[in-house]
Structure 1
């Protein structure tokens, strides 16, 4: 059965471009086109598509308001189509909180972040989210105000080998929403640095870091390079750059680089975790969360081989069970836990 897709964009050129991109995917059928948010809501209710691609900046009703109404009236897997601007990044983070399953970025050449072309990416994402099992109802209400930083008392979970000195987290599709259920629950008593790779383009990682910082007890920053690793600071890898660690004397510093440049994802979870493994070995904790593909597997295999510990998110709570699946099937996960238990498990390993 063909995947039914609704395309909504105020640009006729973009609507046609998406149509052309899908010509090599006969299993995807465009059932309608919308030119603004109002039409998006009406067509979503009328056509009941499997997936919607939804532009953010549109007349009459913008994509965020349309998304909010769609999720309320006829919940559907929605992929946002966003510009690479700072404004587009902030709106995209908000859209993911409202229930969008993922996003695509567009620029003048219609190329996306990393080395994947938009054509390949859009087909992969539509196929991935066509089944309802990937759909996730947002827990945050539309227009919810930012909650103040709060204290957190961890509950008892399975104890791990403690006293890890650093935490390395890798995630992709579904990561922005999922990180909001992990990073804000890490207490100031953690007293360890945390490195995070989230597959995102430039501007988006800065917006993500800012959002997480408002919600968390730890300080969350986008890594700029040459920063001394400090306890209770979360370093988000900068979009378009890898995040590594460099030791100078007795201290460790962030190293932001675009090498290796031949990676499928930049930033890469593998590159970051391998660097953590090389510098901290058995004293490091690796965490792999929701995402397509297998980025992180090689790095975590190295970390595990050096005596480090590995946590994987379970299938039931992943938006996409790809990256954690690769780690679990490789047999290197010390624990496989649901999203809501990841923070507690990290705390146990860092005691």
Structure 2
């Protein structure tokens, strides 16, 4: 198998050496170039044709976010961002993910190899998974046409994703009307980034976006985000259904777990569910299977591109630009 070629972009000589040294220790990963900023990176991208780029958010001159936006417009490619751990850094992380970055890692506070040991395994998995990924241009957060209001049929929408799903989530929820179906989201993000994500979505989309709390009744026109940390988010069988936070062990390495949320909806709501899985990986598979068993609608990524809708023996391909329209159709009379 050919090695995954990586270009490292950071204005700090020390950080370039630190990141490239860590990457070179990952099997089948080759650092093909180092750039100190956007101008040098432009030339190296054309000459070296890397599979993946690591990019510093906070660079002088053309910032990492500015260059990422440019890159996704002219030559989309998998980009992994490095950012600070500050509140401003969390906001930058959300913007980077919205623009199309596949992951964003905290920049080490101290430029020593031991600091990168904490993330090296996950970084390696991200780089290898990113190779050959099909990417599309990012849209402006204000550019989505809001679809017409719906006559809700009672179905509940559950969405599962990871950091790389951020752009799709902005596109999808940005198209929802203010009276969208009750929507519950489990997205694998760290705590500060999740809070920033909820805040930005609530400002940008027509519906209300909140961090889920134990005992909340799910309502039309609201989007509930699972809080990261120590609990799984589930839906109980009360009338109306309510959100519950359960302190349980991680499932498929995740807490909160996509599968746990999906399975709880299969039990409590049954066929009146639409499960939308945006990411690949272990978390989400068993939950989507539970929804299928309860005759719910299941949507997952299609290896050929876009998504695949299934219910019982029926399957239908969905191109990504039509995803929001199809989801709202399933939740409308």
When normalised by structure 1's length, the TM-score is 0.78
Query: 1:42 Cα deviation (Å)?
Result: 4.6
* Alignment check: 8 A CA contact 1:244 1:272 kept: yes
Query: 1:104 Cα deviation (Å)?
Result: 2.8
Matched, 1:309 2:310: no
* Alignment check: 8 A CA contact 1:5 1:52 kept: yes
Matched, 1:183 2:183: no
* Alignment check: 8 A CA contact 1:225 1:256 kept: yes
Q: Report the Cα distance in structure 2 between the residues aligned to 1:343 and 1:74, rounded to whole angstroms.
A: 26
Where 1:180 maps in the other structure, the secondary structure is helix
Structure 2 counterparts to residues 221-232 of structure 1, below 5 A: 221-232=210-221
Q: Report the Cα distance in structure 1 between the residues aligned to 2:249 and 2:207, rounded to whole angstroms.
A: 30
* Alignment check: 8 A CA contact 1:304 1:332 kept: no
Query: 1:218 Cα deviation (Å)?
Result: 1.6
Alignment-derived partner of residue 138 in structure 1: 137
CA offset digits 1:198-231 (Å, max 9, x no partner): 1211122222223322332221122243322221
Q: Report the Cα distance in structure 2 between the residues aligned to 1:265 and 1:207, rounded to whole angstroms.
A: 20
Q: Report the Cα distance in structure 1 between the residues aligned to 2:305 and 2:64, rounded to whole angstroms.
A: 26
* Alignment check: 8 A CA contact 2:147 2:325 kept: no
Matched, 1:7 2:45: no
Note closer, same or farther for the CA distance 1:267–1:39 as it changes in structure 2 (3 Å cut).
farther
Note closer, same or farther for the CA distance 1:71–1:242 as it changes in structure 2 (3 Å cut).
same
CA offset digits 1:265-302 (Å, max 9, x no partner): 2332112112222221222221112x231321111112
Q: Number of matched residues?
A: 326
Where 1:182 maps in the other structure, the secondary structure is helix
Q: Paired residue for 1:165, among 155, 178, 184? A: 155
Query: 1:176 Cα deviation (Å)?
Result: 0.8
Q: Report the Cα distance in structure 1 between the residues aligned to 2:330 and 2:50, rounded to whole angstroms.
A: 44
Q: Paired residue for 2:207, among 207, 218, 234? A: 218
Note closer, same or farther for the CA distance 1:167–1:242 as it changes in structure 2 (3 Å cut).
farther
Q: Report the Cα distance in structure 1 between the residues aligned to 2:246 and 2:88, rounded to whole angstroms.
A: 25
Query: 1:186 Cα deviation (Å)?
Result: 2.5
Matched, 1:279 2:279: no
Alignment-derived partner of residue 82 in structure 2: 81
Where 2:168 maps in the other structure, the secondary structure is helix
Alignment-derived partner of residue 49 in structure 1: 50
* Alignment check: 8 A CA contact 2:234 2:243 kept: yes
Q: Report the Cα distance in structure 2 between the residues aligned to 1:173 and 1:196, rounded to whole angstroms.
A: 12
Query: 1:72 Cα deviation (Å)?
Result: 5.3
Q: Paired residue for 1:208, among 179, 186, 197? A: 197
* Alignment check: 8 A CA contact 2:16 2:34 kept: yes
**Unmatched tracts of structure 1, length 5 or more:** 156-161, 319-323
Where 1:211 maps in the other structure, the secondary structure is helix
When normalised by structure 2's length, the TM-score is 0.82
